[in-house]
Amino acid sequence: MQKFVSTGIEGLDAMLYGGIPEGNQVILAGGPGAGKTLTAFEYLYHGAKEGITSVFFALEEEPERVIENAKLAFTEFKDIDALVKNKKLVIDGEDLVNLLKGGTSSDSSAQYEFGKVISNIESVVVASGAKRVVIDSLSVLDMMISDPFAYRRAMLGLVSKLRRLGVTSILTAEMPTPERNKLKFRTEFFIFDGIIVMYAKGEEEKRMLAMEVIKMRGEKHSFVTTPYEITSGGINVISAEGII
Amino acid sequence: MQKFVSTGIEGLDAMLYGGIPEGNQVILAGGPGAGKTLTAFEYLYHGAKEGITSVFFALEEEPERVIENAKLAFTEFKDIDALVKNKKLVIDGEDLVNLLKGGTSSDSSAQYEFGKVISNIESVVVASGAKRVVIDSLSVLDMMISDPFAYRRAMLGLVSKLRRLGVTSILTAEMPTPERNKLKFRTEFFIFDGIIVMYAKGEEEKRMLAMEVIKMRGEKHSFVTTPYEITSGGINVISAEGII
Amino acid sequence: MQKFVSTGIEGLDAMLYGGIPEGNQVILAGGPGAGKTLTAFEYLYHGAKEGITSVFFALEEEPERVIENAKLAFTEFKDIDALVKNKKLVIDGEDLVNLLKGGTSSDSSAQYEFGKVISNIESVVVASGAKRVVIDSLSVLDMMISDPFAYRRAMLGLVSKLRRLGVTSILTAEMPTPERNKLKFRTEFFIFDGIIVMYAKGEEEKRMLAMEVIKMRGEKHSFVTTPYEITSGGINVISAEGII
Amino acid sequence: MQKFVSTGIEGLDAMLYGGIPEGNQVILAGGPGAGKTLTAFEYLYHGAKEGITSVFFALEEEPERVIENAKLAFTEFKDIDALVKNKKLVIDGEDLVNLLKGGTSSDSSAQYEFGKVISNIESVVVASGAKRVVIDSLSVLDMMISDPFAYRRAMLGLVSKLRRLGVTSILTAEMPTPERNKLKFRTEFFIFDGIIVMYAKGEEEKRMLAMEVIKMRGEKHSFVTTPYEITSGGINVISAEGII
Amino acid sequence: MQKFVSTGIEGLDAMLYGGIPEGNQVILAGGPGAGKTLTAFEYLYHGAKEGITSVFFALEEEPERVIENAKLAFTEFKDIDALVKNKKLVIDGEDLVNLLKGGTSSDSSAQYEFGKVISNIESVVVASGAKRVVIDSLSVLDMMISDPFAYRRAMLGLVSKLRRLGVTSILTAEMPTPERNKLKFRTEFFIFDGIIVMYAKGEEEKRMLAMEVIKMRGEKHSFVTTPYEITSGGINVISAEGII
Amino acid sequence: MQKFVSTGIEGLDAMLYGGIPEGNQVILAGGPGAGKTLTAFEYLYHGAKEGITSVFFALEEEPERVIENAKLAFTEFKDIDALVKNKKLVIDGEDLVNLLKGGTSSDSSAQYEFGKVISNIESVVVASGAKRVVIDSLSVLDMMISDPFAYRRAMLGLVSKLRRLGVTSILTAEMPTPERNKLKFRTEFFIFDGIIVMYAKGEEEKRMLAMEVIKMRGEKHSFVTTPYEITSGGINVISAEGII
């Protein structure tokens, strides 16, 4: 019997007909400003509130800044600091500048450095007993590894490690455009169990944010493009369909 | 007299005016989330139920997960485990991470590794006496071999081997977009006997899945783009044409 | 006085205002599933029936399979085997896998291998006294030769040889898309005397096959895009114009 | 409690629901002729008037010319020279030609040269005690560093330095087109805290300038595309929304 | 006072407001099947009839075939053979296969070979005292020289030679598409004095040929896209504008 | 106080709200046949008539031909020869073929050759005391330097030299298409002070020429796309706006 992990975001759970199938590794892809980091954060926040240890692994901002920005955006989430303090919500990360400042800049050394990042993620997950993981963002790989082939191998190594850890993960990915009709997936995304996209739709005058589930292994899901807002009480997905 | 192999999916058989010509090697191409793996699985499932030994060779997921996901999606297929147990349905595969972790990452070593994959497929087919094969998915080749020329040779070697084995195969292939009007075939697809595409059509608000037979050597086929759903009782192709 | 070689396909002859000018080398380009191989086959079949020795040189399928597929598609052509037997219809070919398995995979060795293919075609034509030739398909060159420059030289060598042999040829070529508005010709096509394209037109819901003569040296021709069907009695081009 | 830095441009502050979050590094991207340099200048000008030391670091024009052009465009800003004189407004820069004339033209030497530019920016900021910085423009990096990978590392080094300096910065970036629907972001932009775009919209006959906030970490912002004019009294953003 | 060279094609002269300015080197670009070779041939034919020695230099067909095809297309031009016999119309050329079969296939040797082609053209022009030249087609350069930079230098050498010879030339060039809205000029075309394009316009159902003068140094010209037909009496340009 | 240099073309001055700011280096970009060379020539012609020494530096045609073509196009400009004779209008240039025939064809030697071109331009400007310069065209750089990075450095060196000479320049640049909606600027254009584009607009049937000011540092300008004609009395810009 399949178990679903609630994202804590009611409307997104509805789009997923329950939640993310346990053990899935999900890409959350979107253009700049779509709220990927906040959405991923909220997923962990609700998990932590339910007592499930959750790890946020920041690769593009300092961990402190992630917490700060989340508190600024979600002013109604009063207990973020408390969850961090009692180690239900673990915010860790790597300093991107350090990662990239290694002695050499060859792809092989970058792969070695990224191998260490994967190791660190593993250590944090094992030490904390986390069941939910967010990695923000995969696009850092773009900055570390120039060869597309080496890039795919590194991404594969990461997914493989997360599968073995048995966690249910969301990995954010930057898209070069905020608009849907220009979206093009990297072929290597196919190794992930799910793909959710966040983008701006609408005309020039007024953009609106919307979300769409492209793929989710192990369950049916909505095919409806669903608008959402970033509110002080969390991501508000305005789903037109009922929850199953 | 040409023999047709039923896909077990009634509407798809109708689109194919009977089924897949025996001995054909068919590409099932589609974007993420189109249900390629499930469709290919169902083809084997129905074969196995009819007593025809069928091999699913997984290159992007572990064999166990393939079975698990199929059972989750097709809850009405109660006898999957039984078919696996009596070896009518053989779920095998290679660990992609192992494949890619070989000593060197050169194209020639990747070709050598892929040669071993082809050997393993051959062994499983010969040992089991299978008549139907699924390989899921060809896109793994993209991750193993960076040179397009070497890629084509590897794909050719695979098709050639399947032809000599006399099996009727479906090979899934990832397309970088879920939408039809962006589809572009790789030129090397021409060496296959058939091409079926699965994609999302419709506007932003609401996507619908649809299927289309692009090419099938040895038979006439429908040119109609036909919608389908993934249901608990299998892929439901809503064909408007009668069955021949 | 120019002589025309009938294609045996009434509607196509009408589009060509008589047939293919004798001695022309014609590209028949189209997407997957357009029926290029069958159209080229029918051209030879009608020639053979009129007593003109005709050679089909298969580069992407085994010769036996070409005959088999033609018989399956054109069930009204009862005398295919007889024509083959009395050597009016010669189906020869090269095993693509063998071609590509040569000791080295460099472009120069591929060119050498392709030189041998050209030699073999010459031998078969000279030995049989053929006046009509089909080569199916040119796209195999894509799989043998990676350098576009070497590719063009090889194609030029082939056309040059066919011209010296004095035959009237159809050479099939794969296009990466089944739709017309995406067609883009390779610049090296200009060395051929004629270009005919076959493609799917119409909207998503229902595709239709259509044919168009783009270029034919030595004669006027129709500029009308003309629909066709693949029927058991041959390619049926539904020309709206009368025959000259 | 988050602090906002007013841009001094009333309508842009309204689009930002207050201003730029303190400590953010913001990309101001736009096509040729959109007024990026003037907008960035005005941001500093208003800061300087409020007594906040502000540094304009010119990489594509000489500092003198920046001041000259600003005075020509903003004739109502009578006190530019006075602000420069009392060192509230510091206009510094590097000579692009000198930067590029280094002994070698390799990427590693370019990175070294750019490292010196970053050092110089740091010195000026530290010496002046500046809280606001403009770098005009990032596109000079395109002319110094040819390898996209080295380019990303250099940009990362710059952002990292600005973060450590604790300044609130606007960095201008050239887009190759003046029109919005062709905008495509460089993936490395994701390391910045905010992205604002300036572009021409409207039909061929008559273009209009408009501004849009794509992303701003640490705050909500407008999603409305808002027209603006360059007037003698500054950038006039015609916001339809009220100020919070 | 500028002198104009009549193209002999009345409607084209009208589009050119008189003809081609004497001494201009004009590109005649078009997709396959547009009739470039015939149009260029007719230009020389009318010159030869007026007693002006005219040279057709064939690079993609044998000279004999050029004459043959022209006679087949323009059945009303009864005196082609006579003009060839009395050396007013000189049809010369190079064997492309020979050109490309040189000992090495490097760009430098190709440039050397092409240098010889230019020499040969010069010899023929000088020996015959020709005032009009056609080179059919420039696209052969594409097959000889792979490096775009070497290609441009070779093209420049050719134009430079023609200018020094004082001839008025038409050089044909293949475009990869028969349709106008996909036309894209090679930047090196700017070194030519004129550009005329020939293409198919209209919808899928029925294509029509049309001609357009893009550029002609030293004169005004029509900007109207003008349909034309290939008739037995020559190219018939259906110009809606009167002749000046 | 900013000084404006009149272009001598009344409608263009109106679009520029006065003229080109003194000391600006302006790109005049356009497709083939747009009249770039003539427009740039007219700018100098009017300057020379007002007694301002003006230099036309031809890189793609011989200086004699530039004068000849200008006289043919602008038959009402009776005094071109006189202005040339009294050295108010200086037409100089480099032989492109010579430039490209240098001993080696490496980028470094091309840069060296281009460095000499810049030196020659400097000498002519200094010797003549010119205040206005035209360089026709920048696209020759494309033919000399293959590496985009070296290309940018060479362009930068040129702009830098012109700035130091204190001249107000127009530099023409070829675009590969005559139509506006395909325009894409080279990123290195941002180092110029102004960009004006000239292109064909309108439908297939009938093209019209139009001009648009994209950018002009140091002044406001019109955003209206304005039609123009090439007449015997000069470029006639049909501006709908009044002159300031």
Instruction: Give the pLDDT confidence of A179-216 residue by residue, as tens digits.
Output: 665 556 677 788 899 999 998 776 556 678 999 999 99
C128: confidence class by pLDDT, cuts 50, 70, 90: very high
Size of interface A-B (CB pairs under 8 A): 82
Give the number of other CB atoms < 10 A from CB of residue E98. Answer: 10
- Rounded mean pLDDT, B192-210: 80
Q: Which residue has the higher pLDDT, D153 or F44?
A: F44
For residue range C131-167, list pLDDT tens digits in order. 999 999 988 877 777 777 778 888 888 999 999 999 9
Tokens representing residue E105 in the block: 């296939």
* Angle at which helices D148-165 and D107-128 cross, to 10°: 10
Tens of pLDDT, residue by residue over C21-31, are 999 999 999 88
Percent of chain B with pLDDT over 90: 57
> Is the model more confident about E56 or about C105?
E56
On the question of pLDDT at F16 being above 80, the answer is: yes
E60 touches chain C (CB under 8 A): yes
Spatial separation of the C-alpha atoms in residues C217 and C16, rounded to whole Å: 11
Residue B113 pLDDT = 81
Q: Taking CB atoms and an 8 Å cutoff, what residues of chain F touch D33? A: 195, 213-216
* Average pLDDT of the segment spanning F172-179: 78
Q: Which residue has the higher pLDDT, F235 or B95?
A: F235
pLDDT of A82 reads 97
Do C and D have ≥3 inter-chain CB pairs under 8 A? no
| Pick from A32, A96, A105: CB nearest D156 | A96
- Nearest residue, CB atoms, D187 vs list A33, A139, A205: A139
Predicted confidence (pLDDT) per residue in A46-76, tens digit: 999 999 999 999 998 889 989 999 998 999 9
Identify the closest residue of chain D to F158 by CA–CA distance.
Answer: D97
Of B95-99, B212-216, F232-236, least confident by mean pLDDT is B95-99
pLDDT of residue E128: 97
Classify residue F220 as exposed, middle or buried by CB count within 10 Å of its CB (0-12, 13-18, 19+): middle
Categorize the per-residue pLDDT at C224 as very low, low, confident or very high, splitting at 50, 70 and 90: confident
**Rg for chain B, CA atoms, rounded:** 17
More confident residue, C208 or A176: C208
pLDDT band at E229 (very low <50, low <70, confident <90, very high): very high
User: How confident is the model over E142-172, as pLDDT tens digits?
Assistant: 777 777 777 888 888 899 999 999 999 999 9
Q: In what helix (H) or strand (E) does residue A209 lie, and over which residues does it extend? A: strand A208-216
Of E90, E139, E78, nearest to E114 (Cα)?
E139
Given pLDDT bands bounded at 50, 70 and 90, which one contains residue B51? very high
Distance from CA of B110 to the nearest CA of A (A): 12
C185 contacts in chain E (CB < 8 Å)? 31-32, 176-178
Give φ, ψ of A148 to 5 degrees: -60, -30
- Residue D100, pLDDT > 80, answer no
What is the tens place of the pLDDT at every residue in F132-160? 999 999 888 777 777 777 788 888 889 99
Option in C69, C139, C204 nearest B217 (CB): C69
Residue B142: list chain A partners with CB under 8 A.
152, 187-188
Cα angle D208-D213-D217, degrees, rounded to a multiple of 5 = 170
In chain B, % of residues over pLDDT 70: 87
Chain D interface includes A113 (CB < 8 A): no
Cβ neighbours of E217 in F, within 8 Å: 61, 69
- What pLDDT sits at residue F244? 37
- C92 in contact with chain B, both atoms CB, cutoff 8 A: no
Pick A60's closest partner by Cβ from D181, D191, D214. D191
Pair A78, A49: CB distance under 8 Å: no
Please tell me the least confidently modeled range out of A7-21, A36-50, B88-102: B88-102
If pLDDT is split at 50, 70 and 90, which confidence band does B222 have?
A: confident
Contact in structure between F174 and F137 (CB atoms under 8 Å):
yes
- C176–B184: do the CB atoms touch at under 8 Å? yes
Q: Per DSSP, which regions of B79-207 are E strands?
A: 89-93, 132-136, 168-174, 194-201
Give the pLDDT score at A62: 86
ipTM rounded to 2 decimals:
0.82
- Asked if the Cβ–Cβ distance from F33 to E215 is below 8 Å, we say yes
CB contact under 8 A, C32 and B189: yes
pLDDT at residue E181, rounded to an integer: 59
Cα separation of C99 and D105, whole Å? 46
Confidence of residue D182 (pLDDT cuts 50, 70, 90): low
Q: Residues, chain E, total? A: 244
What whole-number distance in Å separates Cα of residue E198 and Cα of residue B189?
34
pLDDT band at residue C105 using 50, 70 and 90 as cut-offs: low
CB C53 within 8 A of CB C88: yes
3-state secondary structure C101-122: CCCCCCHHHHHHHHHHHHHHHH
Q: What is the pLDDT of residues D24-56, one digit of tens each?
A: 999 999 888 899 999 999 999 999 999 999 999
Residues of chain B positioned with their CB less than 8 A from the CB of C205: 224-225
CA distance C236 to chain E (A): 18
Q: Tell me whether residue D186 is exposed, middle or buried, using C-beta atoms within 10 angstroms of its C-beta: 0 to 12, 13 to 18, 19 or more.
A: middle
- Determine whether A101 is exposed, middle or buried from the number of CB atoms within 10 Å of its CB (0-12, 13-18, 19+): middle
Which tokens is F177 given?
């298409």
pLDDT, greater one: A111 or F3: F3
For residue B182, list chain A residues with Cβ-Cβ distance below 8 A.
184
Given this model, what pLDDT does residue F181 score? 59
Which residue, among C72, C19, C83, has the nearest Cα to C49 in the 3D structure?
C83
Interstrand relation of A168-174 and A25-30 (parallel, antiparallel or unpaired): parallel
* Predicted pLDDT at B140: 82
Closest residue in chain C to residue E178, using alpha carbons only = C214
The closest CB to that of E139, out of C21, C181, C187, belongs to: C187
Q: What is the mean pLDDT of residues E26-51?
A: 95
The chains found to touch B (3+ Cβ pairs under 8 angstroms) are A, C
pLDDT, average across residues B62-72: 91
Q: Is A218 on the interface with B (CB under 8 A)?
A: yes
For the segment A141-187, what is each residue's pLDDT rounded down to a tens digit?
777 777 777 788 888 889 999 999 999 999 999 887 666 655 566 77
Q: Would you call D60 and F220 a contact, using CB atoms and an 8 Å cutoff?
A: no
Q: Give the pLDDT mean for B147-158.
A: 82
Query: Residue E244 — pLDDT band, cuts 50, 70, 90?
Result: very low
Q: Which residues from F are below 8 Å from D207, CB to CB?
A: 212, 223-225
- Residue C104 has a pLDDT of 45
Q: Between E and F, how many CB-CB pairs are < 8 A?
A: 81
Terminal C-alpha separation, chain E: 16
Give the single-character DSSP code of E78. Answer: T
- For residue B242, pLDDT over 50 is answered with no
Least confident of C116-125, E127-136, F165-174, F195-204: F195-204
Higher pLDDT, B32 or F176: B32
d(CA B42, CA B14): 16
Distance (Å) from the C-alpha of residue E224 to the closest C-alpha of chain C?
22
Q: How confident is the model at residue F179, as a pLDDT?
A: 63
- The residue-averaged pLDDT of B34-60 equals 96
Longest dimension (CA), chain C: 55
- CB–CB of A200 and D191 under 8 A? no
* Cα nearest neighbour of C32 on chain B: B215
SS3 label, residue F153: helix
pLDDT greater at residue D151 or residue E21 = E21
Q: Cβ of E174 and C186 within 8 Å?
A: no
Q: CA-CA distance, F168 to B103, in Å (whole number)?
A: 62
Predicted pLDDT at E178: 62
Alpha-carbon distances, residue B121 vs A236, B46, B161 (angstroms): 48, 21, 9
Q: What are the chain C neighbours of E33 within 8 Å (beta carbons)?
A: 195, 213-216
For residue D154, the model assigns a pLDDT of: 85
C129 — pLDDT class (breaks 50, 70, 90): very high
Predicted confidence band at D179 (pLDDT cuts at 50, 70, 90)?
low
Q: Which residue in F97, F139, F204 is closest to E190 by CB distance?
A: F139
Residue B212 has pLDDT above 50, yes or no: yes
F touches E, CB cut-off 8 Å, minimum 3 pairs = yes
- Looking at CA atoms only, how far is residue D79 from chain A in angstroms? 36
Which residues of chain F neighbour E155 with C-beta distances below 8 Å? none
Return the pLDDT at E243. 39
Please indicate whether residue F104 or residue E215 has the higher confidence score (pLDDT). E215
- Identify which of A35, A58, A49 has the alpha carbon closest to the alpha carbon of residue A6: A49
C209 touches chain B (CB under 8 A): yes
What pLDDT is recorded for position C96?
A: 73
- The pLDDT, as a whole number, for residue B5 is 96
Helix runs in chain A, H state only: 10-15, 36-49, 63-73, 80-85, 96-100, 107-128, 140-144, 148-165
Answer yes or no: do A153 and B205 touch at CB < 8 A.
no
Provide the pLDDT for residue D242.
45
Residue with tokens 């004459």, as numbered in its chain: E67
Q: Minimal Cα distance from B201: which residue of A?
A: A223
D162 CB within 8 Å of a chain A CB: no
* pLDDT score at B199: 84
Q: B211 in contact with C at a CB cutoff of 8 Å?
A: no
Query: Do C73 and C60 contact (CB within 8 A), yes or no?
Result: no
User: What pLDDT, on the 0 to 100 scale, is given for residue C91?
Assistant: 97
In chain F, % of residues over pLDDT 90: 57
Mean of per-residue pLDDT scores for chain A: 86
Which of A13-22, C151-160, E65-74, E126-135 has the lowest average pLDDT?
C151-160
C166: distance to nearest CA of chain B, Å?
29
- Put simply, whether A96 touches B (Cβ < 8 Å) is no
Give the distance from residue E241's alpha carbon to the nearest chain F alpha carbon, in angstroms. Answer: 12
Tokens of D234: 């500054």
User: Which pLDDT does position F182 carry in this prediction?
Assistant: 58
Looking at the complex, does the CB of residue A230 fall below 8 Å from at least one CB of chain D?
yes
User: Which residues on C lie below 8 Å from E206 (Cβ)?
Assistant: 223-225
Residue of F142 and A217 predicted with greater confidence: A217
